[in-house]
Amino acid sequence: MDRKSGKILVVDDNEDILSAARLLIKQHVALVHTEKNPERIPALMRDEAYDVILLDMNFAKGATGGEEGFAWLSRILAADPLAVVILITAYGDVGMAVRAIKEGASDFILKPWQNEKLLATLAAALSLRASRLETLSLRQRQGHLSADLDRPYRDFLGRSAAMKEVFAVIDKVAGTDASILLLGENGTGKELAAREIHRRSSRHREIFVGVDMSAVPETLFESELFGHVKGAFTDARDDRAGRFESASDGTLFLDEIGNLSLPLQAKILTALENRRVFRVGSNKPITIDVRLVCATNRPIHQMVAQNNFRQDLLYRINTIEVRLPSLRERIEDVPLLVEHFLTVYCHKYGRPLKTASPAALRKLEGYAWPGNVRELQHAVERAVIMSDAPVLQPEDFFFSPDESAAGETAPAAGTSLDDMERRFVDRVLSKHGGNVSKAARELGISRAALYRRLDKHGL
């Protein structure tokens, strides 16, 4: 057994047994707790994550049947399904040992034990516990990774001078562990930039975990970000790692961080400063090591001045700021993006590869694209679905009258990002007759995120 590894709990009603176990085991592990009263087991497990529990089977005076031990074994496994429990008794036989293993015990030891046998059993038990925890961690990380991979991902493209500036900054900062804040309007590709930073970083072999902060209900914020333990609240049926824990050793992308309330900003700041989190329902710290990338479409420096965003949190998340240009600032990238999206959607829908005519491209280049690249992506997808022609013409790209008018002129001087967002959301919602689901689909956001924007802008 490796010296000073593992945390052991020994529960027995005999003080001599507890003293002997403590003296033997403490030489080889990091922590040994002993307890005479089994009723203290739940409280002890809440306060400490034991790797192995040595549990006596008889506590009542004169008891020899082991039923108390089996009852406590069941309660321990209900509290922690990954618990490694070794039953100990002076009244064992083969039948009792078989039953113990069937009911979830990891091993069975008779008193008085041989020291070498006990230490060997503990070493095997510690290895089993480590294996169980590693398997759970991998399963949870894989769950987050699988969910993340299911989300649409498109290449981060651009040949314009504005995009070349973005690529140059990413080239400089991606290989570091500096925290990065991505600024830009909705639909400019902030998540793609975050993924590109991760892909070029030293953590690229580890997980990328993205969280849309605007889509996390405030009541579930801590559970989603920091995790929870079984029984922490009504629906907490199992222990669950949060996004910070799952992203450890990799990159954590917090999208729309400007939408967080001040109390939630404080919780994020505490986790980042201490580099540890506490699962809901637990007081045991979990160390985290993440590369942080954040994004917002809101005027975050103005929000700091107005005391709507914590200045200390802004300092923590923006070692480097990267502003992503709107599509109207990089209109020369439209042909490249159209070609890319045509390839993507022709393949997706099983259509022969289409191209866009010069006239169609001129129409697309003349539009202001308030929804940026995401709006262009949806326009190309719609054209691929609706047109049977191999070459797409201007009429294949439909804009509503309001959209066309928006394309004729740039936003008025002094127009704020919030004003533009409000007008665009209102226009898309009106276009779909107030149907939130259709409007959210066209905007490329969830219904919950759209409802928050409607509330934000008083629509």
Note the CATH number of domain 151-323: 3.40.50.300
Residue 414 is encoded by which pair of tokens?
């002094």
Interatomic CA distance for residues 231 and 219, integer angstroms: 16
Task: Tell the CATH topology of 329-457.
Answer: Helicase, Ruva Protein; domain 3 (1.10.8)
The residues of the chain that CATH labels 3.40.50.2300 are 7-133
Domain 7-133: give its CATH superfamily: Response regulator (3.40.50.2300)
Interatomic CA distance for residues 379 and 396, integer angstroms: 9
β-strand 285-287 against 276-278: which pairing, if any? antiparallel
The residues of the chain that CATH labels 3.40.50.300 are 151-323
Would you write out the chain's pLDDT as a tens digit for each of its 459 residues?
545 678 999 999 889 899 999 999 998 898 999 999 999 999 898 888 899 999 988 887 766 677 888 899 999 988 888 889 999 887 766 677 788 888 889 888 888 888 998 999 999 999 988 888 887 777 666 665 555 544 433 467 888 999 999 999 999 999 999 999 999 999 999 999 999 999 889 998 899 999 999 889 888 999 999 999 888 888 788 888 999 999 999 999 999 999 999 999 999 999 999 999 999 999 999 999 999 999 999 999 999 999 999 999 999 999 999 999 999 999 999 999 999 999 999 989 998 899 999 999 999 999 999 999 999 999 999 999 999 888 999 999 987 544 444 444 444 444 566 666 777 787 777 777 778 888 877 776 777 778 878 877 777
Place of tokens 């036989």: 93
The residues of the chain that CATH labels 1.10.8.60 are 329-457
C-alpha closest to that of 50 among 71, 77, 13: 77
**How far is residue 392 CA from its own chain's centroid?**
40
The pTM is what?
Answer: 0.59
C-alpha closest to that of 92 among 69, 72, 118, 71: 69
Interatomic CA distance for residues 332 and 365, integer angstroms: 7
What is residue 416's predicted lDDT score, i.e. its pLDDT? Answer: 61
What is residue 444's predicted lDDT score, i.e. its pLDDT? Answer: 67
CA atoms within 13 A of residue 67's CA, in its CB half-sphere: 5
Interatomic CA distance for residues 98 and 126, integer angstroms: 21
What is residue 234's predicted lDDT score, i.e. its pLDDT? Answer: 80
What is residue 92's predicted lDDT score, i.e. its pLDDT? Answer: 66
Interatomic CA distance for residues 189 and 444, integer angstroms: 12
Q: Which residues lie below 8 Å from residue 240, measured CB to CB, with a gap of 6+?
A: 140, 223, 227, 228, 279
